[in-house]
Amino acid sequence: MSITRYGTEGGVGTGGQKLPFARAVEAGGWLYVSGQTPMTNGEVVEGGIVEQTRLAFDNCLAIMQEAGFGVEDVVHVTTVLTDARYFTSFNKVFKEVFGENPPARICSVQDLVVDCKVEVDVKCFRADRV
């Protein structure tokens, strides 16, 4: 089994810091996308939970597309919200992204190391890539 790493040159975090991990890793038909926050060019995009959730998912989807995976390949999502009151709004965006074929998911409330409202990661699978 081979392992392919995407974005090993390191992404850019807040303050322009170089991040020491891959954006995603593919192994045995699985793609593990590192947690994505609502950032563009290393800066958190201002906005409410809806805007921030959309951007966090857009960041995941861009990495998935780079690796040759689509939204239909997502089997699990891990979500961190910084406030339980964001749950309903987050769910609305989640449904927009995944439609009638939602993946499994865990959602927790905790502080994030980045000053934003949400972080998501995805795990994808394609049998044709095993």
* Residue 91 DSSP SS3: helix
Predicted pLDDT at 17: 72
Predicted pLDDT at 36: 96
Beta-carbon contacts of residue 94 (< 8 Å; ≥ 6 apart): 53, 77, 102, 105
pLDDT along the chain (130 residues), means of 10: 85 72 95 96 92 98 97 98 98 97 97 96 97
pLDDT digits (tens, 9 = 90+) for 1-20: 799 999 887 667 766 777 78
Burial zone of 121 (CB within 10 Å; 0-12 exposed, 13-18 middle, 19+ buried): middle
Q: How far is CA 79 from CA 10, 17, 82, in A?
A: 22, 23, 10
Predicted pLDDT at 103: 98
Fold classified for 3-125: 60s Ribosomal Protein L30; Chain: A; (3.30.1330)
Q: Which of 101, 125, 130 is nearest to 31 (CA)?
A: 125
Domain parsing of the chain, residue ranges: 3-125
